[in-house]
Amino acid sequence: MARITAVGTSVPPHILKQTEICEFARHLFGDSFRDINRLLPIFRNGQVETRHFCVPLEWFGAKHTFSEKNALFQKWAVRLGVEAVKDCLAQARKSVADINHILFVSTTGIATPSIDSCIINELGMNPHTKRTPIWGLGCAGGAAGLSRAADYVTAYPHERVLLIAVECCGLTFQCEDKSKSNLVATSLFADGAAAVLIEGENTIQENGKQLQVIDTMSTLWPDTRDVMGWEINENGLKVIFSRDIPALVDQLLRPNMTEFFERNSMTQRDIRHFIAHPGGKKVIEAYREMLGVEPFYFSHALDILRRFGNMSSVTVLFVLQVFLKQGIAPGEYGIVTALGPGFSSEMLLVRG
């Protein structure tokens, strides 16, 4: 059985307040929306207060080529990834020599050789370390990476996997895109990285808090590819962001989650902890209404959203870190859940 034993995180140095970004958006989008003052409350009502970025605010007001943005992504992805790995291994009291396999998750830039190879070189890891880069899963990528890591150490119970997720959502920004999707994205997305240690059941167990992965489920719903994702154009990655996402949580995820519970001979009432990707305040509210639970069940997710915004695949791993540090009582169950492009869902059933 796979065990999640440590989570490390990293964020870039430029901290922007939501009020600053709101004023930036007012000037940038003002000529495109005559009702801009009616739209700007999304910055105030979305729960986000601060976010971290690889570049300062003035960078977003100028046009940048895809190659320029991608070069910045490669630089920062390595830096943030290395920092997150060091944090994770320090908490686990492990060294890079203990790692057998790296899974690297991202959706906000590209690199060949892949970023994980750069991180391996930077950290002086074993040159025989196995690596699997995963691209394009968007906000679902962190949960999907956990699932694939759990699959691996279940097959190889003497090994350890390091999941590294890095997203530089800010570097995808296109100032010439005056769409409502881009305005919404401007109010929400941010940069960050996380690293998670997942260990097989036959590895030497250290004292400390951990979560056992009981089961995982991936879902791709047909004919929903336009719900969210990227449109690739000459300027890079242009955001696609549907206003229907909260409604789809109830429509699609409710039967999906019920199926997941039933195949584990459980009901929702058996779940004490919801480790959810905070895609936005409305998405969390849709989760809560669908499940019929009190707001405090999503307090950790909303706190991460407030302090860091939506860092795509990384965000659910920030939420996971809080749950792992506080601990889940032995025998209690939690569910890790995230939605992403496709339209897709990733879920893990975990136990303290």
Residues tagged active-site: 139
End-to-end CA distance of the chain: 13
Evaluate the CA torsion angle 137, 294, 213, 255 in order and state its sign. Answer: negative
The two structure tokens encoding residue 76:
């920062």
User: How much helix, strand and coil, in percent to the nearest 5, is found in the chain?
Assistant: 45, 25, 30
State how far the Cα of 326 lies from the Cα of 316, in Å rounded to an integer. 16
8-state DSSP, 206: P
CA torsion, ordered 145, 151, 152, 154, to nearest 10 deg: 140
Q: Are 135 and 110 in contact (CB under 8 A)?
A: yes
Q: C-alpha distances in angstroms, 87 versus 92, 97, 123, 184, 305?
A: 9, 15, 13, 32, 21
Owner of token pair 């409502």? 180
Q: Are 163 and 144 in contact (CB under 8 A)?
A: no
Backbone conformation region of residue 32, classed left if phi is above 0, alpha if psi is from -120 to 50, else beta:
alpha
